[in-house]
Amino acid sequence: MRVLPVKVFGDNYAYLLVDESRHTAAVVDPGDAAPVREWLARGGLRLTAILATHHHEDHVGGIGELCSVFPDVPVLGSAEDKGRIPHQTVFLDDGEGVEAAGMRGLVIATPGHTRGGLAYFFPAPLGGDLFAGDTLFGGTMGNLFEGTPARMLETLRRLRDLPPRTRLWPGHEYTESGVRDALRLQPDDAVLIARLAAVESALARDGRTIPLSLDEERRVNPFLRWDDPAIRALLGTASDTATFKKLCEVL
Ligand code: ZN
Ligand code: FE
């Protein structure tokens, strides 16, 4: 699948999922319409679907304008977010299928950051593409505005179990600060030190670190390492839930 990231408001990402043969695209999390319309126009693409990961304004703020320009476009989001996502027409539950840009995707409920959070996973032969909204970022995770650590742990466990070669497309460019925070916890960790250097050069070169690799995040992101013996030793914890809760306190 061809994914075109669109920078919104400085550090937000909207994503165009492009169907080249039909000259159409779906958009994930259009926080603002203008940059999305610009990229659609530039590619000669017609918008065919809007996918929202959650109801926060920086992810849905552009939906109204896009719906006025493309009046029949379906707006997909969680059934839990009914009344919170503008112009929503499709109310999704965990495990449902979605169609976007000629690809079949899977809806994964991701309660934690918000109670109606969703991730969209588009499988491919060797991995797939995961649009995770504000649930999982490079080196860190989203704030627990409407969820508990226990809830978020179960959400992240499901995302971590996706195929290792999955490309992770997060809702924000937070990777550098995420990795720096992880380094505060483990200042001498060689994997993290190397990751920070790679992140800095990617930012200098491209201004972005996406797509992230799910496999790499499993190794560098402390919030995916609740069962890592080194993290447990550092925090003095013994179970998944205790370790994750402690990570939420110290990071
Ligand atoms: Zn959010
Ligand atoms: Fe956000």
Three-state DSSP class for residue 165? coil
Ligand nearest to the CA of 56: 1
Ligand nearest to the CA of 114: 1
According to DSSP H, which parts of the chain are helical? 33-43, 57-60, 63-69, 149-160, 175-185, 190-206, 214-220, 229-235, 240-250
Q: Is it true that the peptide bond before 211 is cis, omega within 30 degrees of 0? A: yes
Ligand nearest to the CA of 54: 1
pLDDT value at residue 73: 98
The pTM score is 0.98
Tokens of 204: 């200098």
pLDDT value at residue 1: 85
Q: Are 18 and 3 in contact (CB under 8 A)?
A: yes
- How many whole angstroms from 60 Cα to the centroid of ligand 2? 10
pLDDT per residue as tens, the chain (251 positions): 899 999 999 999 999 999 999 999 999 999 999 999 999 999 999 999 999 999 999 999 999 999 999 999 999 999 999 999 999 999 999 999 999 989 999 999 999 999 999 999 999 998 999 999 999 999 999 999 999 999 999 999 999 999 999 999 999 999 999 999 999 999 999 999 999 999 999 999 999 999 999 999 999 999 999 999 999 999 999 999 999 999 999 99
- How many whole angstroms from 133 Cα to the centroid of ligand 2? 7
- How many whole angstroms from 182 Cα to the centroid of ligand 1? 21
Ligand nearest to the CA of 146: 1
The HSE-up count of residue 145 (CA atoms within 13 Å, CB side) is 12
Q: Which domains can be identified in the chain, with CATH numbers?
A: 2-173+210-220 (3.60.15.10)
Ligand nearest to the CA of 29: 2
- CA 105-101-51 angle, to 5 degrees, is 60
pLDDT value at residue 151: 98
Ligand nearest to the CA of 13: 2
CB-based neighbours (< 5 A) of ligand 2, an ion: 58, 134, 171
- How many whole angstroms from 55 Cα to the centroid of ligand 2? 9
pLDDT value at residue 147: 97
Of the chain, the end-to-end C-alpha distance in Å amounts to 34
- How many whole angstroms from 89 Cα to the centroid of ligand 2? 22
Ligand nearest to the CA of 145: 1
pLDDT value at residue 149: 98
- How many whole angstroms from 145 Cα to the centroid of ligand 1? 9
Short-list 168, 177, 93, CA closest to 132: 168
- How many whole angstroms from 61 Cα to the centroid of ligand 2? 11
- How many whole angstroms from 238 Cα to the centroid of ligand 1? 31
Dihedral (C-alpha) 144, 150, 151, 155: value to the nearest 10 degrees? Answer: 100
- How many whole angstroms from 54 Cα to the centroid of ligand 1? 7
- How many whole angstroms from 233 Cα to the centroid of ligand 2? 32
- How far apart are the C-alpha atoms of 69 and 225, rounded to whole Å? 44
- How many whole angstroms from 111 Cα to the centroid of ligand 2? 14
